[in-house]
Structure formats: structure tokens, C-alpha cells
Structure 1
Amino acid sequence: MKTDIENFLNYLMVEKGFSGNTKEAYHNDLCQLADFAGNCLSNRGAQHLWDNFNRQDMLSYLLDLKERKYAVTTVVRKLAAAKSFFGFMIEEKKVRQNPTDNIESPKVGKPLPGAISVGQVKLLLEQPVKLSAPEAKRDRAMLELLYASGMRVSELINLNVEDVDCDEGQVRCFGKGQKERIVPIYPQAARATAEYVNEVRHRLQRDESEKALFLNRRGERLTRQGLWQILKEYARAAGLADQVTPHTLRHSFATHMLNGGADLRSVQELLGHANISTTQIYTHLTSDHIRRAYDSAHPRAKK
């Protein structure tokens, strides 16, 4: 059964251009489903084949997840992985029926992204400046680039040296599905990045063939986990430990751009969202700004 999962995951990578992170998430979810399916089939003496796993079995799996107190968002994700997998199996004629047919995902409220204020961003970005270690210049460049561009953390750590043009003030990154986009960055971020590249990166580099922009102490490409640990330390130093996640600067970038008057389409392009509905969630965070603008502009609202 797990061989079918591997074939499906390879299909996602080769045919659909899915990222390694998405493949890993699907792998974990589907292997969990395969273990549950194997137990179901064993209990009724059936062969361990996906074609013997039926709709009732799928409903039992979802009930099991609920009884084990999985979050609704996690159940939704696991069901989505199963739907995608069985859709593939139908196309490949590996199963005759889709056990996920007519099973609706649990309703889940879409959480608002966590943004922090302009003042809090400034406080966070100032933390590496207080340190003298060479890595502090790297960290400052990373934080400035995240807030300057709105990049995802995964996009930042996948940057190579050639992807940032500090003279032109722009960065080239690759989003979901390896879709390329060019994002402008403000001068302070460009200067911080140039300073890191010119003064620090070569001190971290062990292998001259390494192209990664941001390196760890071993001279290897910094990982998502490594960046998150670094960010947590600076958030703690800034007194923002409870308010900062790996994507806080991305969310703050989008919110502050809209508050500053940027149009939704431009922010969509900058964030690399395929659908503008994804970007629209940030408009909920700008209601205070809209209220202030209304109160100051409408003749009957002025005090």
C-alpha cells in the first residue's frame, strides 16, 4: 500500500511541481492513513489493498482522528491529502471506487494572520544590531529581507547569492510550484544584505561551491528550523515572544503595505499568491486604518 503512496508523491513532485515540504506533509498523512487502513482490512480478513478500503472505513478513520483530539485544521489537511491520493488512484485505475467521495471537510474558520505593529517590527529588526558576533549581520540581513519582501521563510532560505541584487534593490525568489517573482526591497535591507555578503558570508563558507545566500556555522544552507530558532531568540529579546511566528514578518509586510495605500493586486504579486482571495484575508486586518480614514475624510464623521 505504501508503494502506491510513493508513486503518488513522485507524481506530485514531477508532474505538479510540489515542494519538498508539501511532499513530506502528504507522506506523513498518507502513511498514517495506510496504517489505519491496514488494521481495518486485517480485522475483517481482507487483503491489504486500497481497493478494499471503502467509504465506511474512511469515515471510521476521520472519527478516529476526532476521538484522538486532532485539531479541525489537521483533520481537514489529512482529508485533503486522502482525496488527492484517491483521485490519483482512480486515474491510474488502481481502485474502482473512491472512498472519499461525498465526504465533506469539517468547517473551519479561517484564522487571521498574525501581524505586529510597525513599531514592534522596528524593535525586532533592531535586535541583531545590538550584537557584535558575525552571525548578527547575517541575522539582520535575514530579518530585513523578510520584512522588505514579504517572502515566505522557505523562499528566504532557498535564496542563492545571485538572487539578490543589492545595487538594484531587488530579490528574485521562487514560490510554490517554483514560480519565479522579482520583488523590490528597500535600501536599508539592500545595505544589510550587502554588508553580510561582503563582510561575513565568506567567514561562514566552508565549500567554495556552496551557492546558498544564508549559511549556518557549518557553512551549510540555513534550514527553516535554524531560522526559526534565530527568530525566536530575537523575538524574546524584543519582548515579542508570544507574538512572533516564522511568518509574522510576511503577514506584517502585507498588512502594512495595505495600510500604506498599496492596492490589493500589487500586494498579491509581491506575496506570490496565485489567487487574490488568499490576499484578501489581509484586508480584515486594516479595518482600524479604514475607520480612521473614514472619520478624517467624511464631512459628517468629523468631530
Structure 2
Amino acid sequence: MTSDAEKQVGDLGFPDMGSGYEVNYTFGRQGPIGVVKETTLAELLQRYADILWDEGRHKYNVKAFIGELDEILLGARFSAFSQELLDGLIGALRKRGNSNATINRKMAALGKLLRKAYKMGDIHNLPEFKRQKEKAGRLRFLEADEEEVLFREIASRSELYLYLSIFLVDTGARLGEAIALKWNDIHEGRATFWVTKSGRSRTVPLTVRAKDALKRVADRSPGPFSRIDQQKYRAVWNAAKVDAGLGNEDDLVPHILRHTCASRLVRGGIDLRRVQMWLGHQTLEMTMRYAHLASHDLDMCVPVLERHLK
């Protein structure tokens, strides 16, 4: 007998989940031979959230994403996550008005959770995740005068947050990377970030200004910024942004310091491959969004075009 929830899932265009609670399967080389019990996204999240994601804003967002997807599925149970089921989720999100960029973020969270579940034998099938094409948005970064007035407002509220802001803009580090930094990660004028979004460590040399910022917080442990609460820092940032006359810009968030670092490197003549290494991007494609700033590289084209005039 089919439950009301299963009927509703079917009405949304999702495949029939089946009415049983167990399914026999054989993986061969891909996994163990045994029995898989049906599960839900909510159960998988509860089981693996603390393993896959560190505490913080990102983990909070992931829980919201997975919770929404589970709600769309009406808490349906499954032992395999089919391509048809994934396509149905994407279609439902698009009907809710989600942009491709938002869908990509939600699918990234879902994909990470399902891969873990597959590896642990909780499900016996994975769909193919394809990134949705995103529109190129305006890339915002701070000019020198904007940085000066914003940092002045931050300093009036907290010197510690000022030193963190300086460190972020001069290293291009993500907020979470800077907070996770330990003192033994800083050696001979270089900082090594071990806790990164890509899972790959990277080391960058420090500017004089960044070194000075670290000296001023030398009494803090176990790292220069490790006891900073991200939400409190964002609250101070938002208040400072308003008093700096930048309060009407929604995209002016702390992550803009990373964009600012990248833009200064590119506009200063650093090639994109080195910028990729500095930022820790997994692919050069991620760094290419800064390519338009390298306009000086095109100056050499003008003499060639004007040659026929001479």
C-alpha cells in the first residue's frame, strides 16, 4: 500500500522509492556485498555532518540546504539515489526560483554527503553531478581609499579585528583559514594554511604589514586569530561598513578581502597561474574570473594594430 508521502513525491515528478525497507545488492569491486537499509537525507546528515563539515557558518548553511532537499523529497526513504531523483530535485529548486549558482551550492553539499554515504555502504548508487552554468556576476573588490576608511571604522571598534582584516587582505586567506591558523604554521615570514576549502594546504609569503599585524597579536594562543568568533567579526564588519558609507552594498562582505588580494596581484602584473597557487584554487578556471583585470597584458597589441599606419 502506498503512503500519502510517496504519492506526493510521485506527483512532484520523482521516481517511485519503493515500499520495502531493505534491498540486496552486489557491488563487486565498487563496494561490499550485503544488505542496504533505506535511509533519508536527514538521517545521513545527522550521521555524517560532524565528520564532513567543521563548525561555523558553512556547516549551518549545509544543514539548511540538506534540510530543504529532504523537505522537497517529503522525507522519503531510499537505498539508491538515482539520476532521475537528482534531476527532479534540481527541477524543484528551479521552480522555487533558485539561481544556478544557488543550485550548485546545494548540490555540492548533497554530493559530498552522498559520496560519504556511498563509501560507508549506506546507499548503493550515486548519480552524476553536473555543475549548472552560472552567469558571470560583477566582481567587487576594495580600492585603496575604500580599504582605508573601512579599516579605520573597524579599528575604532576592535584592534584585533583590524589586524585580522589586514591579514586577510594581504594573504587572500578565507576567514575560516585565518581563524584556524596556528603559530607553528607561521615560519620564516610565511604562513601555511592547512584547513582549506579544497583540502589542499598552501603556503604564502607575508607582507610587512601582515607580519606587523601578527606581532601585535603575539600573546594570543593557540593561533593569532583562533579565538575570534566569525559571527561577531561579521557583525563588527557590517557596522563599520555602514559608517564607512558602504552600507548599501550587499556584496561587500568579509570575503571581498580575498577578491581584493587577487585583484591587486593581477593588476600588478602577476600571471594567473601564480595567482591560482596563491589563492589555492583547484582549477585555473576559478582564477580566470580575475583575468579581465590584466588589461596591461593587452597593451602590447596596440603597436601591432598601428603598425600598418606607419
Fold shared, TM-score > 0.5 on shorter chain = yes
1:211 is the counterpart of 2:222: yes
Amino acid at match of 2:43: T
User: Who is 1:77 aligned against?
Assistant: 105
Whether the 8 Å CA contact 2:214–2:224 is kept in 1: the answer is no
Sort the Cα spacing of 1:86 and 1:194 in 2 relative to 1 into closer, same or farther, 3 A.
closer
User: Who is 2:279 aligned against?
Assistant: 271
Per the normalisation by structure 2, the TM-score is 0.69
Whether the 8 Å CA contact 1:37–1:57 is kept in 2: the answer is no
CA distance in 2, matches of 1:223, 1:57: 38
**CA deviation after TM superposition for structure 1 residue 253, in Å:** 0.7
**CA deviation after TM superposition for structure 1 residue 96, in Å:** 5.5
CA distance in 2, matches of 1:59, 1:191: 51
CA distance in 2, matches of 1:122, 1:297: 38
Show CA shifts across 1:147-173 (max 9, x none).
1111111112222344445xx433232
Select 1:62's aligned residue among 85, 90, 95. 90
User: Who is 1:28 aligned against?
Assistant: 64
User: Who is 1:4 aligned against?
Assistant: 44
Amino acid at match of 1:189: A
Amino acid at match of 1:69: G
- RMSD of equivalent CA atoms: 3.5
- For the residue of structure 2 that corresponds to 1:51, the secondary structure is coil
* Structure 2 segments unaligned to the other structure (5+ residues): 1-39
Q: Percent identity?
A: 21
Amino acid at match of 2:141: A
Q: What aligned pairs does 1:274-293 form with structure 2 within 5 A after superposition?
A: 274-287=282-295, 289-290=296-297, 293=299
Show CA shifts across 1:181-215 (max 9, x none).
322222123223313436xx5xxxxxxxx524237
> How many correspondences in the alignment?
264
**CA deviation after TM superposition for structure 1 residue 178, in Å:** 4.7
Amino acid at match of 1:286: A
Sort the Cα spacing of 1:52 and 1:268 in 2 relative to 1 into closer, same or farther, 3 A.
closer
- For the residue of structure 2 that corresponds to 1:183, the secondary structure is strand
Q: What aligned pairs does 1:122-271 form with structure 2 within 5 A after superposition?
A: 122-128=148-154, 131=156, 135=158, 137-164=159-186, 168-174=188-194, 175-176=196-197, 178-197=199-218, 210-214=221-225, 221-241=227-247, 242=249, 244-271=252-279
**CA deviation after TM superposition for structure 1 residue 144, in Å:** 1.3
**Higher RCO (C-alpha 8 Å, min separation 6):** 1
Sort the Cα spacing of 1:227 and 1:246 in 2 relative to 1 into closer, same or farther, 3 A.
same
**CA deviation after TM superposition for structure 1 residue 234, in Å:** 2.8
* Structure 1 segments unaligned to the other structure (5+ residues): 42-48, 202-209, 216-220
CA distance in 2, matches of 1:128, 1:96: 51
User: Who is 1:109 aligned against?
Assistant: 135
